[in-house]
Amino acid sequence: MATVRQEVTIINRYGLHARPAMQLVELANRFGSKIELSNGVLTVDAKSIMSVMRLAATQGTVLSLVADGQDAEKAVVAIKKLLDDGFGELDEQGT
């Protein structure tokens, strides 16, 4: 078992709104590890859409990503990549 921590930044203009939040939750659920996201005030289960939306993470928000389990390292790398890619909506003017 391993615990992996990583700071991640929300870079897309519209922040962690419903669609990216769902992408994140879907990705997190592919891993067996326990995965949590924290904004310093609130720590939420990254596998629950209802929890993740509570973060109201706007553009520029730095979140702390913590994974705990066999595939923690892989989970953190994958989730960080999704956020660094701006959930694939960096070129979008938004919807």
Q: Which of these segments, 1-9, 44-52, 63-71, 74-82, binds other proteins (CB under 8 A)?
A: 44-52
If one asks whether residue 70 binds other proteins (CB under 8 A), the answer comes out as no
- ∠ CA 28-33-34, nearest 5°, is 80
Q: Are 78 and 27 in contact (CB under 8 A)?
A: yes
Query: Applying CB under 8 A, which of residues 8, 16, 35, 63 lies at the interface with other proteins?
Result: 16
Query: Is 73 annotated in the active site?
Result: no
Question: How far is CA 26 from each of CA 21, 40, 60, 71, rounded to the nearest angstrom?
Answer: 9, 23, 22, 16
Q: Are 11 and 59 in contact (CB under 8 A)?
A: yes
* Interface size with other proteins, residues (CB under 8 A): 21
From the candidates 17, 33, 35, 72, give the one annotated as an active-site residue. 17
Residues designated catalytic = 17
Interface with other proteins by CB under 8 A: which residues?
Answer: 13-19, 22, 48-51, 53-59, 94-95
